[in-house]
Structures are given as C-alpha cells and as structure tokens.
C-alpha cells in the first residue's frame, strides 16, 4: 500500500482479473483511490493489472509519487510504470512502460 497526498494505491498479487482482450486472466491487480479536495471519502479512480497471462505476482509491491505509480511483479522479474492522465475532470493512470530485470532476480519485490 502507498499513499501520496490524495492518492492511495493498493496492490493485491492474489487477485484475478479478466483481460480486456478476452484472452484470459491476469493475476494481480492494483487499485488506485483518490480523495477529492475537502472530502473525507475515497473513490476508486482506476484498476490496473498486468498484460501478461503468467503468474507474475503483479501488485506485490507498489509506490506512488505525485503523477507517477510503480507496481512490482517479482515472479515476472519486472516493474510496471504508470503516469496520471487528466482528461475531462477525471484522472486515469496510463501505462508508460515495463522494466524487465534480466540480471536482477526478483526485480519488483520491493519498490
């Protein structure tokens, strides 16, 4: 879990999500919640998951800092990067890259 100001990100490596392409299931998700200025409640603003079909443990580690979010997937030896996209008054988190750790075992275990 990571908190930065009015953004809360929670990873769940054991959750299962259907891929939008219909190709199957992704394991591991990240939920992003945001609090409106002056409000006491949190609303889910986005739902992120790995585009891989294998068991990567996506969401085992997570961090958020301002406009950027990183999600660790240690069994996939990878980090996923997202950036905040502001459109029409709503914030979304767009995929901005994946870093594979070929020579680093369990990259993404801690972020």
Q: 10-63, pLDDT tens digit by residue?
A: 999 988 777 666 666 667 889 999 887 777 788 888 888 776 656 788 999 999
Could you tell me how far CA 63 lies from the centroid of its own chain?
9
pLDDT digits 0-9 by tens, 77-111? 899 999 998 776 667 889 999 998 877 678 888 88
Confidence at residue 55, expressed as pLDDT on a 0 to 100 scale: 74
Nearest to 3 by CA among 59, 90, 66: 66
Extract the tokens encoding 29.
């998700």
Strands 61-65 and 43-49: unpaired
Question: pTM for this structure?
Answer: 0.85
Residue 20: how many other CB atoms lie within 10 Å: 9
């Amino acid at each position: 879990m990571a908190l930065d100001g009015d953004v809360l990100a929670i990873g769940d490596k054991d959750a299962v999500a259907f891929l939008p392409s219909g190709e199957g299931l992704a394991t591991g998700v990240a939920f992003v919640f945001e609090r409106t200025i002056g409000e006491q409640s949190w609303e889910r603003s986005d739902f992120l998951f790995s585009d891989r079909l294998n068991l990567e443990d996506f969401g085992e580690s997570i961090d958020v800092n301002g406009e950027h979010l990183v999600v660790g997937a240690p069994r996939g030896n990878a980090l996923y990067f997202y950036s905040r996209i502001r459109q029409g008054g709503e914030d979304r988190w767009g995929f901005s890259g994946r870093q594979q750790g070929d020579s680093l075992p369990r990259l993404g275990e801690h972020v």
